Structure 1
Amino acid sequence: MSQITTVNPATGENIKTFTPMDKNQVNDLVRKAKRAFPEWKKDYEKRRSYVYNLVEYLKKHKTELAKVATSEMGKALKESIGEVEKCAWALEFYADHGDSFLSDEVLSSDARKSFLTFEPLGVIGSIMPWNFPYWQALRFAAPCLMAGNVIVMKPSRVTMQSGIEIEKAFTESGMPDGIYQTVVGSVESANNLIDSDVNAVTFTGSTNAGAKVGERAAKNLKKCVLELGGSDPFIVLDDAIIEKAAEGAVKGRFINCGQSCVASKRFFVGKNIAEEFTELFIKKASQLKVGDPMSIETDVGPISNKEGLETISGIVEDAKQKGAEILLGGSEIEGKGFFYMPTILKNIKPNMRIATEETFGPVAPITIVENESEAIKLANESEFGLGASIWTKDLAKADKMSRRIDSGIVSVNNVVISDPRIPFGGIKHSGFGRELSRYGMLEFVNLKSVRFYDNLTHHHYVE
């Protein structure tokens, strides 16, 4: 296996080189996790105490952790700090509420006593992306660990040190050995993890990669949760509060340099307010400070890697050649690093790549629509179904529209954001299964039904 070298996307300079683990090393991690599992699953209060210690570690070291992520993938430092803070929140949330989520559920049947109990599966293999290197890993880990599972996680090759820092946080906060371990490697290492003796697999990343992970897990008859790509519609109706919608558009499209599965990626705007909204959107987007992500004043850093920059440039060039009008930006920023200007386009056509592909960068295509029915039709004309946002004063109308949109998440008068209290996940090519909330916790437990009978009972001689 070839070496892995991380690159600072703000400068283009190499940061560090890592040697990937081979199959035997991956299997050793899983065996170690297997040995740790029986004791870890026994006592919820002990797990809670360990996780509280981890929370305090993250709060204390949030700035140094943030700097590692920013150096590896280019996220603005203030966003990286916020990411670590959100991880602490999620861990604390599950430590506080996980026991109630796992309480036995009384069932009604013809037995004397019937109930459902929730038991951990064992070792969960986790394959995580680079765009939120701490949040993606720990929003899965928080409920998984509190449910009594243990984790072997492979971070992205782009943010390998960030992944290692998570394991370091576990170790230095006093977590028992073998509860959370890191696989250093790339695709081959991920495949070795799936093929190992893990009990289930979770993957966050692209749709194409997710399909391969799902296929490989299925061949091994392993439970799998896939959180994949998105091309979220951002629908602005004629009665929307335009100032608020424009602010939301900037946040929804340009946070994390547009590199988020739930970023707002396709903008559908009512014809009567399209001009006013577009002007305000351009004004607010043009005020974003693009530059050194280590500066606390920076709003937008670089694209995370050279390949991503080339993809975004290609998508915008394709749109230009097919008739799109560039209203803001539209090109790479000369100099060091992988920077792309915040970009807004209009005159979008169905045959453009930007209309169909997931656009992982700071690029916003605007389409003017006649009414909400056209907006919903266009919103649903996508292979993805992760999130959507609707902007309107008419909440009754928003309620009806939310039920017609093909997605796992809908936000009204706000952008789509993940929250440990709310289920997160999509449909169609955006994956299956859920993260966060009680539903996310129950993805990696055995739902065991138990019944106590007084008499032998059968139902029509059918099992």
Structure 2
Amino acid sequence: MPIATMNPTSGKTEILIEPHSAAEVDERIAQAAAAVEALKATTFAQRAEWMRAAAAILDDQAAGLGELITIEMGKPIAQSVAEVEKSAKAMRFYAEHSEEFLADVALEDPSTVNASAAWTRYEPLGVVLAVMPWNYPLWQVIRFAAPALMAGNAGLLKHASNVPQAALFLDTLFERAGFPEGSFRTLLIGGREVGAVIADPRVKAVTLTGSEPAGRSVAQIAGDHVKKAVLELGGSDPFIVLPSADVKAAAATAVRARINNNGQSCIAGKRFIVHADVYDEFAAEFATQMSGLVIGNPLLPETQVGPLATESGRQDLIDLVEDAREKGASILTGGTVPDLPGWFYAPTVIADLPEDARLIQEEAFGPVASLYLAKDHEDALRIANQTTFGLSSAVWTSDPEEEAFFVAGLDAGAVFVNGMTVSYQELPFGGVKRSGFGRELAAVGQREFCNLKTVWKA
């Protein structure tokens, strides 16, 4: 069955692309395995030169790539172009720092292990499969590919089926920049075929960013074949506002946190937990700003909220909101489907959620925010930690003791104080609980797909 680019703004098919056959998939895995051997003969300096060249390609094509991303998944055009630029920046970051991140580390006093010298070294694992989502079709891939290739690994990409043109662009990017043939290959396959690729003995590890069910499946197959896996799964991130905070600034940032990428971001603030002393003020400001957002064609510069990426994704969001409404929740704004072609949903704020509402535990992947009134600090922390997810979090306070309380108490892979969660190449990224395991980005993310080898010398 052909793989389609369905324009979420119009609901129409833009292009149909034939998937790879089993023979083509086998050949692409073979090319990646051969590239690993070629990469072993290269230096950090050589790979850095190629990585900078790949970054330059992104810079040169930023406008066109931004438009392609918007057409395929619907985010506002300025955000799409920013994604391209962020990806190029990360590539340069790893070109600059990989040799430092992966340098040998000597044991300071080797006599403690009866040696004249002892050290550890990082070596690439080989071919690594990346199973990536559509919400950041370039950035999600580059934040894996840049550190992996700079470490000397080869990459295979199984991208989301609704962004095939982005996947095909990435298929040739690194070779165009000078990397050996096969260093990075896209596999145009369905989800059911991923297991066979993970099981292939030429593939040494897998990383996935996606849903919890997909993560469970990938982790099980990787475990069956004793292969390394890194998983970044869902999030229902708390955004906590305390009385000492600048409430207006918190509300303005909360809007950006919730509607960035049309609300389709794992690390977006989704549950807004507000202390009783400032709840009414925050709720009124937040709902007013959410209701005033410009919805429309994401290719137009004035648009702030575009469509959901898929029709099924919008339906999932509708179902969550209607479940809450039927169980007695208050809809402060939104909760409707705009009269537009494509897969739009109005920015929505829901309050007074009953304990049995699905939104209490499930991730809302779209411009829907849930508001929670917290009686005190302990109650805010209880609400924040009550979900099965633990990706990131935010807390707004000007009190150092409050800050320390939440930094220590939040069950999350990250805590952002007086800001919204953003991924930076300089900082590790990943979650706890059912948000996954392992880390991406920074030095630790690059080392995930390296063998840490210990060397002892008499």
Q: Take 2:85 and 2:400, find their aligned partners in 1: how far apart are those partners?
A: 32
Q: Which moved more, 1:270-279 or 1:171-180?
A: 171-180
Q: Tell me what 1:29 maps to.
A: 28
Displacement of 1:58: 0.5
Structure 1 letter corresponding to 2:8: P
Q: Does 1:215 align with 2:191?
A: no
Q: Take 1:256 and 1:20, find their aligned partners in 2: how far apart are those partners?
A: 27
Normalization by structure 2: what TM-score?
A: 0.97
Q: Tell me what 1:130 maps to.
A: 134
Kept in 2, the 8 Å contact 1:240–1:391? The answer is yes
Counterparts of residues 144-163 of structure 1 (less than 5 Å): 144-163=148-167
SS in 2 for 1:158: coil
Q: Does 1:277 align with 2:277?
A: no
Q: Take 1:208 and 1:266, find their aligned partners in 2: how far apart are those partners?
A: 22
Structural RMSD (CA): 1.1
Counterparts of residues 443-462 of structure 1 (less than 5 Å): 443-453=448-458
- CA displacement, residues 316-363 of structure 1 (integer Å, 9 cap, x when unaligned): 011111111111111111231000000011111221011110110100
SS in 1 for 2:239: strand
Kept in 1, the 8 Å contact 2:38–2:180? The answer is no
Structure 1 letter corresponding to 2:52: Y
Q: Take 2:19 and 2:355, find their aligned partners in 1: how far apart are those partners?
A: 42
- CA displacement, residues 247-283 of structure 1 (integer Å, 9 cap, x when unaligned): 1101111101110110111111011111111111122
Q: Tell me what 1:389 maps to.
A: 394
Which residue among 166, 169, 173 is the counterpart of 2:177?
A: 173
Kept in 1, the 8 Å contact 2:172–2:184? The answer is no
Identical amino acids, percent of aligned pairs: 39
Q: Take 2:172 and 2:206, find their aligned partners in 1: how far apart are those partners?
A: 22
Which residue among 231, 235, 247 is the counterpart of 2:240?
A: 235
Q: Take 2:204 and 2:390, find their aligned partners in 1: how far apart are those partners?
A: 28
- CA displacement, residues 356-410 of structure 1 (integer Å, 9 cap, x when unaligned): 1011010001011111111111111111110010001113321221111111111
Structure 1 letter corresponding to 2:121: T
SS in 2 for 1:364: strand
Q: Take 1:381 and 1:224, find their aligned partners in 2: how far apart are those partners?
A: 26
Q: Take 1:219 and 1:444, find their aligned partners in 2: how far apart are those partners?
A: 18
Q: Which moved more, 1:70-79 or 1:100-109?
A: 100-109
Counterparts of residues 296-375 of structure 1 (less than 5 Å): 296-375=301-380
Structure 1, gaps ≥5 residues long:
454-463
Q: Does 1:46 align with 2:51?
A: no
Q: Tell me what 2:124 maps to.
A: 120
Structure 1 letter corresponding to 2:9: A
SS in 2 for 1:275: helix
Structure 2 letter corresponding to 1:132: Y
The structure-2 alpha-carbon separation of the partners of 1:219 and 1:22, relative to structure 1 and needing over 3 Å to count, comes to farther
Kept in 1, the 8 Å contact 2:175–2:182? The answer is no
SS in 2 for 1:281: helix
Structure 1 letter corresponding to 2:101: F
Kept in 1, the 8 Å contact 2:350–2:371? The answer is yes
Kept in 1, the 8 Å contact 2:389–2:434? The answer is yes
Q: Tell me what 2:68 maps to.
A: 68
SS in 2 for 1:49: helix
SS in 1 for 2:203: coil
Q: Take 2:183 and 2:449, find their aligned partners in 1: how far apart are those partners?
A: 15
Normalization by structure 1: what TM-score?
A: 0.96
Q: Does 1:412 align with 2:417?
A: yes
Q: Take 2:169 and 2:63, find their aligned partners in 1: how far apart are those partners?
A: 13
